[in-house]
Amino acid sequence: MKPSNMFKCRDCQTELLWGGDHMAEDHGLEGDGIVSNYTCQEEDCSVELVMIYTKG
Ligand SMILES: [Zn+2]
């Protein structure tokens, strides 16, 4: 499910593009949390990937 609140890039303030959600255990984390990954849409920006961990 796509979250309604968007995150902005730390460096260029461009809206981050939601890439998907994964179970925390897929990333070697314990618990029932969700890891969401976001990418910056600005080509010249050095930020490639932002991952946000939400506790379950
Ligand atoms: Zn950026």
How close is the Cα of 20 to the center of ligand 1, in Å?
A: 18
Q: Does residue 1 surpass a pLDDT of 70?
A: no
Q: What is the pLDDT of residue 30?
A: 86
- Predicted model pTM: 0.77
6 C-alpha vs ligand 1 centroid, how far in Å? 13
Query: Whole domain around residue 43: which residue ranges?
Result: 1-56
Give the model confidence (pLDDT) of 8-56 as tens digits. Answer: 999 999 999 999 999 999 888 888 999 999 999 999 999 999 999 998 8
Going from the Cα of 33 to the center of ligand 1, the distance in angstroms, rounded, reads 26
The reported pLDDT for the residue numbered 27 is 85
Using the mean position of ligand 1's atoms as its centre, give its distance from the Cα of residue 31 in Å.
30
CA of 51 to the centre of ligand 1 (A): 13
- Which strands make up the sheet holding 34-40, listed edge to edge? 16-23, 34-40, 50-54
Q: Domains in the chain: how many in total?
A: 1
**Longest Cα pair distance anywhere in the chain, in angstroms?**
36
